[in-house]
Amino acid sequence: GIQVEQSPPDLILQEGANSTLRCNFSDSVNNLQWFHQNPWGQLINLFYIPSGTKQNGRLSATTVATERYSLLYISSSQTTDSGVYFCAVNSGGYQKVTFGIGTKLQVIP
Amino acid sequence: DVKVTQSSRYLVKRTGEKVFLECVQDMDHENMFWYRQDPGLGLRLIYFSYDVKMKEKGDIPEGYSVSREKKERFSLILESASTNQTSMYLCASSLGGLGNSPLHFGNGTRLTVT
């Protein structure tokens, strides 16, 4: 099956710093999603982005499907950005979604 | 907003018990999913359903079964709970179609099997 790799596995930022998270995938995909899991375990869908660039406030994402990667940008980080960020892809003809193992982000004051 | 509700936030069961985890969504979504999340392993798909009474095995279906008698409800069943099924269980739903709609998750059920 498709492989999804995320980097870095762990990241510590000072509040106000910017960061880039990366997701590589091993095969062509129908869609790609970014999620944030907060410290209480809730998973929130940040972006649904099979290709191109999207922005939502301080967050933006870019997927280059032909080169099999996606980037999540976090600008002016805040402590509430802490948690785990997951990349998830769908490559089959139905709704089977495969997740990476995540990037754990800690933003310190 | 889509709401996916899991019946229990925390659950403690004994080895050998039959365990039911319930999930309900309120947006008439066709697809529903059960994942488990373990440290260092990310989220792994147990089962999914693309219609009432339809189900497909995911990557780790062993030891689990599912039921979808109504469109809004998807149940995960542990026929005989074992300690290696201690985990966080996450239910999700999506609109439908061929992989072209975002996933929405419930808050999760942290199951401990003793």
The mean of the pLDDT values for chain A is 93
Name the residue among B42, B50, B90 with its Cβ closest to that of A101: B42
Using a CB–CB cutoff of 8 Å, tell me whether B61 touches chain A: no
d(CA B34, CA B58): 9
pLDDT tens across B82-102, in order? 999 999 999 999 887 655 688
Two structure tokens written together for B82: 């074992």
Q: What are phi and psi of A81, to 5 degrees?
A: -80, -10
CA distance A101 to A22: 12
- Closest chain A residue to the Cα of B58, Cα to Cα: A96
Per-residue pLDDT at B99 = 53
- Using an 8 Å Cβ cutoff, are B8 and B19 in contact? no
| Residue B90 to residue B67: CA distance in whole angstroms | 16
Look at residue B111 in the predicted model and tell me its pLDDT: 97
- Which of the pair, A86 or A98, is modelled with greater confidence? A86
Interface A–B counts its CB contacts (< 8 A) at 71
**C-alpha span between B24 and B7 (Å, rounded):** 8
A2, exposed or middle or buried, with CB in 10 Å at 0-12, 13-18, 19+?
middle
Per-residue DSSP letters for A62-86? EEEGGGTEEEEEE-S--GGG-EEEE
Residues of B whose CB is below 8 A from A102: 42
Report the 10 Å Cβ neighbour count for B82: 13
Q: What average pLDDT does the structure give for chain B?
A: 92
Q: Which residue of A has its CA nearest to B49?
A: A95
Give the tens place of pLDDT for each residue, A56-90.
Answer: 999 999 999 999 999 999 999 999 999 999 999 98
Q: Tokens 């950005």 correspond to what residue?
A: A81
Residue B67: what are its φ and ψ, rounded to 5°? -145, 135
CA-to-CA separations, B63 to B38, B66, B83, in angstroms, rounded = 16, 11, 12
